[in-house]
Amino acid sequence: MSLKEYEETGKIPLINTRFPKMVVNTTHGMKKLPGDYEGKWLVLFSHPADYTPVCTTEFVSFQNHFDEFQAMNVELLGLSIDQVYSHIKWVDWIKENLDVEIKFPIIADHGEVARQLGMLHAKGSSTVRAVFIIDPKMIIRAILYYPSELGRNMKEIVRMIKGLKVASKHNVALPANWPHNELFGDDVIVPPAGDVETAKKRLEDNSITCLDWWLCHKKNPE
């Protein structure tokens, strides 16, 4: 099945497919997805419910990284199966009790959006801790799922966006724990050669270090 055929079936979206069109109600008014966010990176994340302990810590953490996301041309968009009034009151509670103002919108879902995106728990009607990282062309670049008992790591989400930007711009890959890889530091991985001639030239390229023809790295171009 091609990506186009897959997108037309209405199944859960996959990495490297375009985010599906929908209109959603949020704490900042109605939003058209993905159109209202084209040209920017988007982190769409779901949380199990308002007024819950782990979710509250996550929202505070997302907001604490808000300026960093903005500097990277990244928008944040939350979601749970709660009414917009619940979202608004919860955000007010966070401001009044924790002195943190949530500046990003939250989708008020009745379950339709969560079902379409595969954000629902297998049992029950609450959403999982899902994260969709979507690029400026509205292509889904990464999907993460967390259990209800484990809060997300915001630094990892920031790292992923930085890495995806570098990979997209320079046609490279990134090693484990980048930019602090145990073998190559902040170097980037050169994709394996697809033919003998390219492999030979790569071994002769002084800007590239190869352990073998298929394992080559070079300095981070950023």
Q: Where are the domains of the chain?
A: 3-152, 171-222
CATH number of the domain located at residue range(s) 3-152 in this protein: 3.40.30.10
Tell me the CA distances in angstroms from 106 to 46, 55, 147, one per residue in order: 9, 13, 20
Residue 9 has a pLDDT of 52
pLDDT digits (tens, 9 = 90+) for 36-55: 999 999 999 999 999 999 99
Task: Supply the residues annotated as catalytic.
Answer: 55
CATH number of the domain located at residue range(s) 171-222 in this protein: 3.30.1020.10
Rounded Cα distance between 152 and 136, Å, is 23
Which tokens in the block code for residue 6? 């897959």
Residue 99: pLDDT over 70 = yes
pLDDT digits (tens, 9 = 90+) for 106-132: 999 999 999 999 998 877 678 899 999
Whether this prediction's pTM lies above 0.85 is answered by yes
Residue 1 has a pLDDT of 40
* 3-class SS letters over the chain: CCHHHHHHCCCCCCCCCECCCEEEEECCEEEEECHHHCCCEEEEEECCCCCCHHHHHHHHHHHHCHHHHHHCCEEEEEEECCCHHHHHHHHHHHHHHHCCCCCCCEEECCCHHHHHHCCECCCCCCECEEEEEECCCCEEEEEEEECCCCCCCHHHHHHHHHHHHHHHHHCCECCCCCCCECCCECCEEECCCCCHHHHHHHHHCCCCEEEECCEEEECCCC
Give percent of the chain with pLDDT exceeding 70: 95
